[in-house]
Amino acid sequence: MRVFLDANVLFSASNSHSNIARLLDLLMEKGAAVTSDFALEEARRNVELKRPDWTGSFRHLATRIEVLASVTFELTVPLADKDAPILCTAIQAGCQALATGDKRHFGHLYGHTVAGVQIVSLLQLAEMLTADNNS
């Protein structure tokens, strides 16, 4: 499974002792974690500003993720201009899912599939990976 990670997921997973970090470990065992330069930079800024003690863990995490150049094109769903590059890059990268904790901007798309990419919360991602483990 190829999963695109939004900046807020990268930020949270930078706490190496968190459940989200463990979830990403499981994802990387089973498939691939992908993000964009745009999302990675946003996460880096937030880690340095809000949780500087996580910086080392963030840097290590960044080495384990495929980082792609952001792209933008017209989408068939409503999305804020600042969030469009996230979904566009996930589509361009051929990801099966886009994992995000951004309910305000992506919540209306949770569970929906756009151009082959299912938008999922972290709970939904965990359920997908667990269901895949039990198959």
- Rounded CA gap, 7 and 82, in Å? 12
Handedness of CA 94, 100, 106, 110 (dihedral sign): positive
3-state SS of the chain: helix, strand, coil percent to 5?
Answer: 55, 15, 30
What is the model's pTM?
0.94
pLDDT higher at 132 or 21: 21
Distance CA 16, CA 97 (A): 23
Mind listing the pLDDT tens digit for each residue in 112-124? 999 999 999 999 9
Q: Extract the tokens encoding 82.
A: 């600042």
- Residue-wise pLDDT for 57-101, tens only, equals 999 999 999 999 999 999 999 999 999 999 999 999 999 999 999
Q: Is the pLDDT of residue 132 over 60?
A: no
Its domain, for residue 41, covers 2-133
Q: What is the H or E stretch that residue 20 is in?
A: helix 19-30
d(C-alpha 44, C-alpha 11), whole Å: 7
**For the domain that residue 77 is a member of, what is the CATH number?**
3.40.50.1010
Number of independent structural domains in the chain = 1
pLDDT in tens, 35-68: 999 999 999 999 999 999 999 999 999 999 999 9
